[in-house]
C-alpha cells in the first residue's frame, strides 16, 4: 500500500495536496482476515492522488527492499515500548512476537497538511482508533470507518484457501475468529459487502466523495 516530483507536491509524501476546499479525511478500512482490505486499500490509493497512507511502525526487521520511513517505521523494541508508555500510538498490537502501531503524529501531521489519510487496520485497531478519536476533535472530525466483508463465510473460506498459505485447520481457526470480527460491523460508519475488485473500489470512491461533501467538512466558496 505505496517519481517524478511535480511542482507543489509535498517533499515528505510526494503527493499533491487536494485542490478542493473540504477538510481532509481519515479513511479507516477494516475487514476480517482474507476480506480484501489490502487490495482495496491499494486500489484506493492508486485512484486518489490526494490520499496517502499512514505508515505503520513495527519492531520486525526490514525485509529485502523495504525502506525505513517508506514501507514502515522500523523501531527497536525498547523504542516502541517508550512510545506506548508516552501514549504516542493511536493503536498498537503485538502479533507473533512483533509489535505494530500507528503514531498519532503520523496521522495528524498529514491531515494538517491537507492530505486525506488511509488506515488499513484490524478490528481491534479500529476500535482503539474510534475510542481515541472521541477525545481528539481533529481525529473525530476526519474519521470515516468502513467495514469490508465478503458476502458469506463460504466466500471467505474460498478466498483463504486460494491463498495457499494456511493449513486446513488454520483456515478453520481463522473462519471462527472471522465470525466474531464480522459481528463488529455495526460499530462502523459504512458496511461494504465485497464483490469484485472494481465494484469494491467504485463503492469506496462513492463513500469518499460523499464524506467530502458533508457540511462538517465542506467549505462554502466565497460569493
Kind plus residue range of the DSSP H or E element containing 108: helix 104-112
Contact 156, 178 (CB under 8 A): yes
Kind plus residue range of the DSSP H or E element containing 190: strand 190-193
Contact 18, 55 (CB under 8 A): no
Per-residue pLDDT tens digits for 19-68 = 457 899 999 999 987 788 999 999 999 999 999 999 999 999 999 999 99
pLDDT at 164: 62
Angle at 203 between CA 216 and CA 142, to 5 degrees: 25
1 in a structural domain: no
145 in a structural domain: yes
Per-residue CA distances from 6 to 10, 15, 16, 151, 171 (Å):
9, 9, 8, 42, 46
CATH code of 122's domain = 3.40.50.300
Task: Output phi, psi for 108, to 5 deg.
Answer: -65, -35
Those residues whose C-beta lies under 8 Å from the C-beta of residue 108, and which sit 6 or more positions away, are 138, 139
As a whole number, mean pLDDT of residues 71-78 equals 95
10 in a structural domain: no
11 in a structural domain: no
Cell of 89: 500510538
Count of structural domains, the chain: 1
Q: 131 is in which domain, residue-wise?
A: 26-212
93 in a structural domain: yes
Per-residue pLDDT tens digits for 133-158 = 999 999 999 999 999 998 877 777 77
As a whole number, mean pLDDT of residues 200-215 equals 96
Q: How many CB atoms lie within 10 A of CB 87?
A: 9
Per-residue pLDDT tens digits for 88-120 = 999 999 877 899 999 999 999 999 999 999 999
- Judged by DSSP in three states, 103 sits in strand
Cell of 142: 476526519
137 bridge partner residues:
none
Per-residue pLDDT tens digits for 160-187 = 777 666 677 777 777 877 788 888 899 9
The answer to whether the predicted template modeling score (pTM) of the entire model surpasses 0.85 is no
12 in a structural domain: no
pLDDT at 8: 29
Amino acid at each position: 500500500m505505496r517519481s517524478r516530483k511535480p511542482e507543489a507536491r509535498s517533499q515528505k509524501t510526494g503527493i499533491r495536496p487536494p485542490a478542493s476546499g473540504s477538510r481532509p479525511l481519515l479513511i479507516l478500512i477494516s475487514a476480517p482476515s482474507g476480506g480484501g482490505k489490502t487490495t482495496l486499500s491499494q486500489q484506493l490509493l492508486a485512484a486518489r492522488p490526494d490520499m496517502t497512507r499512514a505508515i505503520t511502525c513495527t519492531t520486525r526487521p526490514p525485509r529485502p527492499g523495504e525502506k525505513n520511513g517508506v514501507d514502515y517505521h522500523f523501531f527497536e523494541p525498547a523504542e516502541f515500548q517508550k512510545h506506548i508508555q508516552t501514549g504516542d500510538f493511536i493503536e498498537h498490537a503485538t502479533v507473533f512476537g512483533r509489535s505494530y502501531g500507528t503514531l498519532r503524529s503520523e496521522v495528524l501531521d498529514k491531515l494538517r497538511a491537507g492530505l486525506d489519510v488511509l488506515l488499513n487496520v484490524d478490528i481491534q485497531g479500529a476500535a482503539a482508533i474510534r475510542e481515541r478519536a472521541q477525545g481528539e476533535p481533529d481525529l473525530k472530525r476526519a474519521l470515516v470507518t468502513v467495514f469490508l466483508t465478503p458476502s458469506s463465510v463460504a466466500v471467505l473460506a474460498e478466498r483463504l484457501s486460494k491463498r495457499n498459505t494456511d493449513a486446513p485447520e488454520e483456515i478453520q481457526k481463522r473462519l471462527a475468529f472471522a465470525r466474531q470480527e464480522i459481528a463488529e460491523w455495526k460499530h462502523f460508519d459504512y458496511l461494504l459487502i465485497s464483490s469484485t475488485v472494481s465494484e469494491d473500489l467504485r463503492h469506496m470512491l462513492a463513500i469518499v466523495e460523499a464524506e467530502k461533501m458533508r457540511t462538517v467538512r465542506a467549505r462554502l466558496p466565497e460569493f
